[in-house]
Structure 1
Amino acid sequence: MSIKITTLIENQQDNNDTLVNEHGLALFIEFEDKKILFDTGQSGDFIKNAEKLNKDINNLDYVILSHGHYDHSGGFREFTKYSKKNFKLIVGNGFFNEKYKLIEEGYKFNGNSFSEEFIVKNNIAVKYVTEDIFKITDELMVFTNFERSTEFETLNEKFFIKKNEGYILDDFSDEISLGVKYEKGLVVILGCSHIGIVNILKTIMKRTGMPIYCVVGGSHLIEADELRLNKTMEFFKENSISLLRLSHCTGENAIYKLKHEFRKEFIYNNTGNSIEII
């Protein structure tokens, strides 16, 4: 059994400076006979990178969108022009809420480039995950409804949902993560971890009774103060997480600290990077 995860696009450039990069995330996951696209970046440029990397994303089994922010779902509309659309779309409950970010000038739209009507019009099969664990197969699981058990991971007060004529704080109840069963533990793929990476991982461990072997994707430690960052690293150590392949919204300070603290266990998962777990 092997798991292969290729970063099709991410904030940082690829090692050979031949691919397109952007603020966003798109991962291509190959596991057994399944091919999964996890997030689509913001523009659709991940498609060009997939072609250069010789990754066939035209015949996917699933497209999973971790949450309704433009830098994770923005490339989906462009992808539908490219794809044969024989995949199933998996999103969290509330994915199509109108999401905004509070900036100095006011509320700026920060959500999806497509609506539920677009999904219907294009005959795309969709699964809205409402259950705690949605099993794609016995080895592939989608998680949501994460418990908020840490005191140091609080909701970011700049993200909102538009409701009627007003705005309410976004609790990111639409956020989903993917887990892949591996003989040494779970491989967990994250989008942005707005709920808190420790909250997410603790919830997954509690529900599955399984240890976590590898974590891939966005950690949102970019906004973490020293207390939160130290507590997060303590959690990684206490739970003996062997591989950390974080990127996107992790932030320079957290990257520096993680590299120093975990050395071989941590690799920044930039554009074009390939992870193979055998």
Structure 2
Amino acid sequence: MILTSLIDNTRLNNRTDLEIERGLSIHASTMGKSILFDAGSSRAFCDNARLLGVDIKSVDAAVISHRHHDHCNGITHFLDQNSKAQVYLRECEDTNYTFKTLGFKIDVGINKQLLTKDASRMTFINQMTEILPNIFIITDLGNKYEKPEGNKYLFTGSGESCKSDTFDHELLLVINEHDGLIVFTGCAHSGVLNMIDTALNNFPNTKIKAVIGGFHLVGLPLFNSIGGTKKQIEEIGESMLNYPIDKLYTGHCTGMKAYNILKGVLGERLEYFPTGRSVSI
């Protein structure tokens, strides 16, 4: 498998030609298939794809991890450039998504017009589904571990009906290659450890070649604070060591402070995955 970061909060130092934004989009080339995982919030991932030699027109399937704008609003540009791929989302209630803290409130949800722009291209999943040979979407995510502290700023609904987001709009993408799994986390609002545990429970007696995506260990993004304490982040890293995982590639909502704490625990197993980076697994 070849993985390429099409959009992230940061980029490779030598690729100033690439755009960045607070968002996530990853391309995977595996087993003769081309997969897009998340689409950022604009057309930036499409523009970067061209510069990185990734053909958006040839993508066979697009998967949206959850309904926050920085992962899905760019899909409108994907639909403009690609005429064949289905776009997969988790089936959930129609609601609004909001970030709130200290009286400050912003809409962080999907542009709902995307869901009707080309309805025939949208597929809504409510159970574990093999969307292509050995490529799976999982919707039933475990809760063995605590969810991220940073979730406390995220809500659904509006006005008096506003309530804490339970993330029933989040899914897990797992690709099962002959020598192990590749697990795509999106933002891991359900908890990166829960996602790892879910993947292995669904594919027992195997290993994870790589976990890739954001881990949502940031607290308030504006201040790049960590969600929780240093000890809690270290404990997440120590728990990761107990699982059969070869590598972890992260960025976006993990946050640099939390990344550095995890790096101290995980060492060479953990690497940053900025815009423009490609890895072969």
Structure 1 length as normaliser, TM-score? Answer: 0.90
Q: Which runs of 5+ in 2 are unaligned?
A: 219-226
Is 1:246 matched up with 2:257?
no
Which of 1, 5, 8 is the aligned partner of 1:7? Answer: 5
**1:24: Cα distance to partner?**
0.5
**Aligned equivalents of 2:166, 2:28: Cα separation in 1:** 28
C-alpha root-mean-square deviation of aligned residues, in Å? 2.0
Q: Distance in 2 between matches of 1:255 and 1:121?
A: 37
Aligned-pair distance for 1:45?
0.7
User: 2:154 is matched with which residue?
Assistant: 159
Tell me what 2:47 maps to.
48
Match of 2:90 in 1: 92
Q: Distance in 2 between matches of 1:176 and 1:152?
A: 14
Q: Where do residues 73-152 of structure 1 align in structure 2 (5 Å cutoff)? A: 73-81=72-80, 83-94=81-92, 96-115=94-113, 118-131=114-127, 133-151=128-146
TM-score normalised per structure 2: 0.89
Post-superposition CA distance 1:185-241 (Å, at most 9, x none): 211011000011011111221122133221011111222422431221112111131
Compared CA separation, residues 23 and 140, structure 1 to 2 (3 A): same
1:169 to 164, 171, 184: 164
- Quick check: 170-179 or 106-115, which moved more? 106-115
Q: How many residues align?
A: 271
Q: Which residue of 2 aligns with 1:265?
A: 269
Question: Which aligned pairs between 1:217-256 and structure 2 lie closer than 5 A?
Answer: 217-222=213-218, 223-256=227-260
**Contact 2:100/2:154 (<8 A) preserved:** yes
Between the aligned partners of 2:119 and 2:260, the Cα distance in structure 1 is 45
Whether the 8 Å CA contact 1:152–1:228 is kept in 2: the answer is no
Q: CA deviation at 1:274?
A: 0.4
Select the residue among 169, 178, 184 that pairs with 2:179: 184
Question: Going by fraction, where is helix more abundant, 1 or 2?
Answer: 2
| Cα distance change on mapping 1:228 and 1:138 into 2, 3 Å | farther
Unaligned segments of structure 1, at least 5 residues = none
**What one-letter code is carried by the residue in structure 2 that aligns with 1:86?**
K
State the distance in 2 between where 1:203 and 1:182 align.
17
CA distance in 2, matches of 1:119, 1:152: 28
> Quick one: which amino acid aligns to residue 11 of structure 1?
N
